[in-house]
Structure 1
């Protein structure tokens, strides 16, 4: 059946006719977008006078090879770029029929010698990325869109008041209750979703934990909102060695946990994850060393020891970096709803970086010297490009120099009865700690004349197959939009292209202007009131909460910062919920401890994004 479909598709393509060569390119580029590869314009032929194109070849962007002379030239100046061309045969050749003036398909090959990108990553490939003329005009026009203050129709104060009232309408049922209703609806839609929260004796929200499938967040240690409640993301690295926010089955224990030296956190980790080694943050240990040890020799030796003993993730700096990104716009006036929305915005950027990494990894491979060993060439295909360049290639190159070193390491090899390599390990334990083989292992493999890196030297989490068991999450699925907003967005995008073309001529401008004026005349003028319509992203929520457990969750009590005097909230915040109007100002006896450490959790083979 598949062969028949392929044959029909082939027949349809080779029978195509185009008005010009550009139309042929647009067709082929649109076709390959669905196949998830990129197109490059290649060979051309001209007529005898060199005044008219007669043949054009379009090829897969991975067609051909980089010429050796240019590679050698790059080596002298800098480290060569990743290899993108692997001799792919896929192509479309069109030629001009002089009698009809039409272009016909002369040759078509739809076979590749490399993996294609997933369909959802096709839009990130080079030939599918472009800014249209209409979009360029919109970008330039953004700063002066209405043509002056006299044509806007409102002031900055009007804008501020609208935004404030709109936020209040969204959380009219209460900030905490709005979030709980949203999380309940997410749980109804996604069987993998999990959330849990805690109330105090009066029904006020005290703590909140939620997992959006690929995300785990613990509302515990970093101030983010008007209640001074904290937020901690559990972060680590993905298969490209870039920061991600981890998620996993809640029952799965992480292989290690890195935190500051807070005793309360240490006790909690020992109870919740008794089988997970708890490490102190290497950066904080080094800072204590600087403050308390004044012998430079001891400091140097200790730092060397830390480098050898804390391979891989050894501090919570990635967590701090993620917190820093989150803190850029988080402030004391932010509601829980705004916090979740902003958090999702940051997460979307993290996912986009991973999507770019995935696309690049499928379209290129790291450069290796022309005289590189077969072992090195094969090894680079086992890991993601970032891991190979950042963690593995260094070991490969260092192995070439170990014969001149005085330091002693023990590499243990186990052989089969046929004298084939069965297992290999090194006393430096880099393979066990970081998951990539050390230079000592590569040195021994070279002596053994091995051409392939053994499977047990390749940790799955550092390969492109790290997330094979999980469906990729490339973009946010957090919001459902109101129909009016979807219609507005669709018309706006269509109008951008229409207005750009129409503005290029007097006739086009007049025709479009008349159509719009006629449409406006049949619409009832908007006097400013638009009750019930949502103008932006709307969090999906259950219409009514039937379960008593999830009903009437009051907004959190404000938690004073450590050492700060307790004070009442402003009346505008007190009125968020009628039930909590009086209690919001009562903080006597409310002594919720705060903790200012940011844990980093390292999971083995978990769903991450």
Structure 2
């Protein structure tokens, strides 16, 4: 079917469905601040992003909240002091913030006792998570009171913790009815698509470039090779036919194994390296450049890792060629079952709230 679009002043197209969705969101009214958060968090899960609490505004002279803002978890940037720290004992967490401006701000109308939408921004500056990855984003991983009450009941019934979690997965999302391997795959995909490995402020250009090319696990291996390249130096450079041979030797006093000299052969297309071979054969065995090749790249002042040294299977784009179908064959969820699951979860939350009241409900 054809898609009708309108054009914004900045030249980007907006579909009529998006306009309708925007008007539905800004016309919402909430009974409480928490209800507003839950509504925005459900919207975020459907869209593929995570939500966190942001600023709040108080009634002057009191501690009564009159306005509250919920923002995309990628709002803002990590403080510069964390990039400069050199005495960290743990591996810094991956970078997740990129200055996204998406947010929902609600304000309390004291006259009507309701919260209304004051401001809504639905434009993100980052890729959104796929539907089967949303469950692994931070604001969607928590358990509400109704889920906790169910877990207590299962525990009293004799189920062990891992069994309770398996039951919860099957109850609260068809996309979770997958094998353990597929679940781990989906979680790793979510991490890769929604974060960038941490690099210190003094990191070299090759390390920064590698963080944006490789998956987090492979990046750590590549980063180690880049850092070990500092122990090697180019002693001699010769040209034989179309190949440039670099004699890479270990610096005095540096640790690099028993062998102290490698002849790295490279070919160039202009200033771009289009081939590299090292006798250590790390590139052939593990499909990542060795420290000796990185020493050559540093010597030629390369700012990026050339394509000839990047194996696509270790990159962020590798999954695009192999779309995963993660639903297990033993759990086929029809549309009716999906609606039933959603309604049951909403009913569980409502019943738990009613149970806190001493009044009986009809």
TM class by shorter-chain length?
0.7 to 0.9
1:19 maps to which of 31, 47, 50 = 31
Which residue of 1 is the match for residue 146 of structure 2?
A: 134
Higher relative strand content: 2
The answer to whether the 8 Å contact 1:411/1:441 transfers is yes
Q: CA deviation at 1:19?
A: 3.1
When residues 422 and 498 of structure 1 are mapped into structure 2, their CA distance, relative to the original with a 3 A threshold, is closer
CA distance in 1, matches of 2:268, 2:91: 38
Q: CA deviation at 1:11?
A: 3.1
Q: Secondary structure at the match of 1:367?
A: coil
The answer to whether the 8 Å contact 1:71/1:80 transfers is no
Matched, 1:79 2:91: yes
Q: Secondary structure at the match of 1:117?
A: coil
**How do 1:345-384 and structure 2 match up within 5 A?**
348-384=179-215
Radius of gyration: which is bigger? 1
Gap runs ≥5 in structure 1:
147-344, 512-609
Which residue of 1 is the match for residue 217 of structure 2?
A: 386
CA root-mean-square deviation: 3.3
CA distance in 2, matches of 1:370, 1:408: 31
**How do 1:226-241 and structure 2 match up within 5 A?**
none
When residues 460 and 502 of structure 1 are mapped into structure 2, their CA distance, relative to the original with a 3 A threshold, is same
Matched, 1:399 2:229: yes
The answer to whether the 8 Å contact 2:287/2:310 transfers is yes
Which residue of 2 is the match for residue 592 of structure 1?
A: none
2:311 maps to which of 459, 468, 475 = 459
The answer to whether the 8 Å contact 2:84/2:201 transfers is no
The answer to whether the 8 Å contact 1:74/1:80 transfers is no
Q: CA deviation at 1:98?
A: 4.7
When residues 499 and 115 of structure 1 are mapped into structure 2, their CA distance, relative to the original with a 3 A threshold, is closer
**How do 1:306-321 and structure 2 match up within 5 A?**
none
When residues 84 and 492 of structure 1 are mapped into structure 2, their CA distance, relative to the original with a 3 A threshold, is closer
Paired positions, count: 308
Q: CA deviation at 1:500?
A: 4.2
When residues 376 and 98 of structure 1 are mapped into structure 2, their CA distance, relative to the original with a 3 A threshold, is same
1:412 maps to which of 246, 261, 265 = 265
Q: CA deviation at 1:113?
A: 2.3
Q: CA deviation at 1:452?
A: 1.5
Which residue of 2 is the match for residue 441 of structure 1?
A: 293
CA distance in 2, matches of 1:419, 1:497: 63
Q: CA deviation at 1:380?
A: 1.2
Q: CA deviation at 1:348?
A: 0.7
1:8 maps to which of 11, 20, 25 = 20
Where relative contact order (Cα < 8 A, 6+ residues apart) is larger, the structure is 1
Matched, 1:89 2:101: yes
CA distance in 2, matches of 1:506, 1:52: 26
CA distance in 2, matches of 1:367, 1:131: 29
CA distance in 2, matches of 1:14, 1:498: 24
Q: Which digits, 9 at most, give the CA deviation of each residue in 1:415-457, with x for residues without a partner?
A: 22x3332322222111111111111111111111111111222
CA distance in 2, matches of 1:434, 1:99: 67
Q: Secondary structure at the match of 1:468?
A: helix
Q: Which digits, 9 at most, give the CA deviation of each residue in 1:543-590, with x for residues without a partner?
A: xxxxxxxxxxxxxxxxxxxxxxxxxxxxxxxxxxxxxxxxxxxxxxxx
TM-score, length basis structure 1: 0.46
Gap runs ≥5 in structure 2:
6-13, 159-175, 234-250
CA distance in 1, matches of 2:35, 2:84: 38
The answer to whether the 8 Å contact 2:273/2:308 transfers is no
Matched, 1:428 2:280: yes
CA distance in 2, matches of 1:489, 1:118: 20
When residues 36 and 392 of structure 1 are mapped into structure 2, their CA distance, relative to the original with a 3 A threshold, is same
Q: CA deviation at 1:496?
A: 5.2
